[in-house]
Structure 1
Amino acid sequence: MRRWTLGLLIALVLAGPAAAAPFQPCVVYTEAGKFDKSFNEMAYAGVTAFQAGGGAAVKEFEPSSPADYVPRMEAAVQAGCSDIVVIGFRFAEDLATVAPRHPSVHFSIIDGVVEGTNVASILFAENEGAYLAGVAAALASQTGHLGFIGGMPVPVIRRFQAGFTQGVRDTRPDARVSVAMLSDSPKGFADPFAGSEAARDLLASGVDVVFPAAGASGLGALDAMSAAGRLGIGVDSNQDYLYPGHILTSMVKRLDRAVKTIFETGAAGGFRPGLTRLGLREGGVDVTITPYNRTLWTADVEAAVKKAREDILAGRIKVGDETAVPS
């Protein structure tokens, strides 16, 4: 027996420490899918950028509904995923249950905060980018009456609302912003018809520029604004091309950069849990000027947005967050 035990010990020493699980990046989108022209698609752009740069092939999972979030995350673990990114705050509650079951797997959540030694939480300062959109919208509006459409009243959407409203009012104190929330549930992010109806109601009240922060629902709002010959503002992805001449700008959230960086860091063995916030300074948010909207950006608009950006970065402008919005 002693000889067998000694032999086993020698074998273990020669074998060295157990090898770490191989790096396998994975992403779990929301049920809107990776080609939603908005939030998920920006994350997908990060996946393709990582792979195009020589990164490992990324396994992708697309739930059919929120009830499918846990099964898809578990499927990713079973598929050998070592670094899993989940796209959106709606995963937070389920991830808080799933992550502790798999302590050796690295999870990252976009737009949500989950505690855990194997979870990284990435938030964006949407209020800073939305402030710039508000500055541009205030100057582009003919009526001085602007609209904001939110998918549902959650902190991330309230940050959009707070920044946009402050940007409008700081630029044009006589202007007003009417707000429409589509739902108290995640359905508010997946109903283009509801987005269109909300935009039509705002148009009827005299609004001539609308900023929808509502995922796929926002596409309906942009369509309604374009059909009426008015202006919309894109969100998350660069949506300027959807309705050339009728999208004033897009307030982009650089999920592509975040996802790419998460995977590059994971591949290098540098995963770090905890909270990261990405704003203007970090290149996490911004507004777009493209050939599709260039004629809408007068010299006054461009100069005002440039100054606002500089003032935010210098700390001369403090942009309110979700806590600045009445509940």
Structure 2
Amino acid sequence: MIFRNKTNIILLIVSLFFLFVSLNCFAQEETNVGLVFDIGGKGDKSFNDSASRGLSWAAQDFGIKRIELEPGADADREVNIRNLSNIGYKLIFGIGFLFEDSIGDVCDEFPDTKYAIVDGLVPGKENVVSLSFAEHEGSFLVGMIAGLKAKADGKDTVGYVGGMNVPLIQKFEAGYIAGVKYAYPECKILSAYAGDTPTAFADPVKGKELALSQYDNGAYVIYHASGLTGTGVYEAGKERKRYVIGVDSNQNYLGHIEETGENFGLTSMLKQVDVSVYLTIKAFLEGTFEPGIRVFDLATTVVINDVEYNGVGYAMDKYNEGLITDDMIQKVEEAKQKIINGEIVVPSEV
């Protein structure tokens, strides 16, 4: 009896050992996730940092093996995507519309690898998901906040600074203008773009120059959709003591002046790239990865680690709680529900 029990225990231990080894090998093979940043790279406090945050959430929750690559010259996009594919990363993200050609070219060569592109469209590929956002809807809400703030403080002009002058960034502008006009029809809106090439997303000097010009021409609030370029907009806002609306991540803290305690970060348009990255990784691990287009909008509601997120939205925190009244928030929330219900259709083109 004792011998038999010892034999059973040994067999159980051996079985558990091989099960552990098998699961560990499976995890190492199946959970390698790579992410290649857009222009501006990690540390832009905006678009790229949001993607990195989603990857970090997934690493904490799922124990994935991850790698992040910084952008270089245009050719590096395809090189980075291809290299990650070659070394066995099974899910690879390209962060930004500039990855359309790179992923489109590489994905056919690695049919067993899954790819995700944020803000781009790679149609008709069974191993690619395109992650898109209703930026115009979120921009409408922060446009309302800009208009309501200007009106409440007796001002009549707001501004917009975009990065690269392309349809995607014009989509932010279109929603913002519509939101301003919905809240304050008489308000004037100044608009400018940092350039026509990808470097327009990584030029804080140009961002500050454009913002100073708009402030000096009467803008009370400026909304930027310009990546790293937007840090220059915040510098200008604090110099002129006028308000800034951030983009993609919660950038409200960038408007804080530590020496005086003043805050000029009015709000931020939240584009939850982090949520899209996290959910794509989760689906991949669960075997439910679906190719095609996935859109994150105001109606999108997900809960991650007990926190509820929409696809897009606006940020409230300690930095702006004294800048936006309860009445303003109520008006914005009412409009948000009307957008979700289809009573307000937000334009996506200027």
- Is the 2:46–2:227 contact (alpha carbons within 8 Å) kept by the matching residues of 1? yes
Other structure's SS at 2:136 match: helix
Following the alignment from structure 1 to structure 2, what is the Cα–Cα distance between the partners of residues 229 and 241? 14
Is 1:61 the equivalent of 2:69?
yes
Gaps of 5+ in 2: 1-25, 257-262, 301-309
Q: Is the 8 A contact 1:55 1:264 kept in 2?
A: no
Confirm or deny: 8 A CA contact 1:51 1:58 kept in the other structure.
yes
Residue in structure 2 matching 1:110, options 108, 118, 125: 118
Per the alignment, residue 323 of structure 2 pairs with: 296
Instruction: State whether structure 2 residue 336 is matched by structure 1 residue 309.
Output: yes
CA distance in structure 2 between the aligned counterparts of 1:234 and 1:287, rounded to whole angstroms: 9
1:1-327 equivalence runs, <5 A: 22-115=30-123, 116-141=125-150, 142-244=154-256, 245-282=263-300, 283-322=310-349, 325=350
Select between 143-152 and 123-132 the one with higher mean Cα deviation: 143-152
Gap runs ≥5 in structure 1: 1-18
Q: Any conservation in 2 of the 1:133–1:249 contact (CA below 8 Å)?
A: yes
* Greater strand share, structure number: 2
Q: How many residue pairs were aligned?
A: 305
User: Aligned partners of 1:165, 1:30: CA distance in 2, in Å?
Assistant: 26
Q: Distance in 2 between matches of 1:225 and 1:22?
A: 47
CA distance in 1, matches of 2:98, 2:253: 28
Contact (CA 8 Å) 2:237, 2:255: kept in 1 or not?
A: no
* 1:208 aligned partner, one-letter code: Y
* Distance in 1 (alpha carbons) for counterparts of 2:75 and 2:236: 31
Q: Which amino acid aligns with 1:144?
A: D
> Residues 139 and 172 of structure 1 are in contact (CA less than 8 Å); yes or no, is this contact kept in structure 2?
yes
Task: Return 36-45 or 19-28, whichever deviates more.
Answer: 19-28
- Distance in 2 between the 1:138 and 1:47 partners? 35
Q: Is the 8 A contact 2:39 2:201 kept in 1?
A: no
Q: Conserved in 1, the CA contact under 8 Å of 2:205 and 2:229?
A: yes
Look up the equivalent residue of 1:319 and give its one-letter code: V
Contact persistence 1:125–1:280 (CA under 8 A): yes
For 2:332, the aligned partner's letter is V
User: What is the rounded CA distance, in whole Å, between the counterparts of 2:280 and 2:287 in structure 1?
Assistant: 11
- In 1, the alpha carbon distance for the partners of 2:73 and 2:252 equals 29
Aligned-partner Cα distance in 2 for 1:31–1:311:
35
Give me the identity figure in percent: 35
Answer yes or no: is the 8 Å Cα contact 2:32–2:66 preserved in 1.
yes
* 1:3 corresponds to: none
CA contact (8 A) 1:109 1:122 kept: yes
Shift of 1:90: 1.0
Q: Shift in Å at residue 34 of structure 1? A: 1.9
> What is the CA deviation profile of residues 45-93 of structure 1, one whole-angstrom value per residue up to 9, with x for unaligned ones?
1011111113312122222232311111111112211111110111112
TM-score, L = length of structure 1? 0.90
Q: d(CA) in 1 for partners of 2:73 and 2:242?
A: 34
Query: In structure 2, what is the equivalent of residue 14 of structure 1?
Result: none
Specify the SS of the correspondent of 2:295. Answer: strand
Measure the CA separation in 1 of the matches of 2:215 and 2:128.
43
Query: Which string of whole-angstrom CA distances, capped at 9 and with x for unpartnered residues, describes residues 30-50 of structure 1?
Result: 242222111000011101111
Give the superposition deviation at 1:100: 1.6
Q: CA deviation at 1:212?
A: 0.7
- Code of the aligned partner of 1:263: I
- Mapped to 2, the partners of 1:237 and 1:108 lie a distance apart of 20
**1: distance between equivalents of 2:39 and 2:323?**
34
